[in-house]
Amino acid sequence: MTYAANQAESAENDSINWSSGAAYVDGKFVPLAEAKIPVTDWAYRRSDVVYDVVSVWDGVFFRLDDHIGRFRRSIERYRFSPKETDEEIREILHKLMALSGLRSAYVAMDCLRGQGAPGVRHPAKARNYIVCWASPFSTLVPSDKIERGMHMIVSSTPRIPQVCVDATAKNFHWGDMNISMFEAEDKGADYPILLDLDGNVTEGPGFNVFVVTDGVVATPDYGMLEGISRKSVLEICDDLGLKLEVRRVSAKELRDADEIFVSSTAGGVIGVSRIDGRIMNNDRPGPISQKIRETYWAKRTSGWHGEPVKYDLV
């Protein structure tokens, strides 16, 4: 881009209100409220989308390499072929943050299936493209519920089997999650935890699940997204000298656990105080859960796995 073109783009950007967030849609930067996709695209018609989400806190991306790497693996798993390289996606995310001026944000990257020519129904024949966006940071639950601990239920709706939809590739197939959230709401809980068809814990809507029994931390090894925040917890447990087991976790072990906590880009590590109405730890997150949460945020504040936002891109 020439100097004159850069100046023109900068002047145009200065005249736009980006305060509620910014988006990149198929090659163009727009305010988040103006981001749109055609209703005829298969991304909308068939939920044919893979995505990832990275958080920014106090002007610093967290584990951006890990998120872009997982996004690329999801793209390849579902046979998308966007034109943007990983490095170009990185620059897009930085520019979204620079345009919005946000200091803490939720930054998404999506790869969407467009539509094929008339009469064409095979996904290989449809174009696909990248959509990214940045909006103000939000958590799974508000701060008061983080302090008191989340209230959870075990959903009666099982997770979509891994052999049908690969949960390790982050995708838009949320029918089971949505039905489970209605069930949780009906029962006065914050969120559900979904089991597989064999009665083992998988994950919840947007988070991985951990249990603590007799000081040992355990988390499922199958049927769930291999979360980046989950990866962070595994590293923290090693740093703290906590015994950790990655394996099948039964519904009984979940319900009988001394502590439960979840991990998510939307809030890091959050403790649970109730499961199916059973009160744990005097109705508060347990001590190991709290220690891991405090360590997570202390390490993030110190710059752990951080990449400062390039606010000078605009």
Confidence class for position 314, pLDDT limits 50, 70, 90:
confident
pLDDT of 1 higher than 90: no
Confidence class for position 12, pLDDT limits 50, 70, 90:
low
Q: What is the pLDDT of residue 6?
A: 45
Mean pLDDT of 220-236: 97
For 157-189, the pLDDT digits (tens) are 999 999 999 999 999 999 999 999 999 999 999
Query: How many other CB atoms are there within 10 angstroms of residue 305's CB atom?
Result: 17
pLDDT of 77 higher than 70: yes
Q: What is the pLDDT of residue 118?
A: 85
Predicted TM-score (pTM) of the model is 0.93
Do residues 189 and 149 touch, judged by C-beta distance below 8 A? no
DSSP conformation letters of 255-281: HH-SEEEEEETTTEEEEEEEETTEE-G
Domains of the chain: 3-137 (3.30.470.10), 143-301 (3.20.10.10)
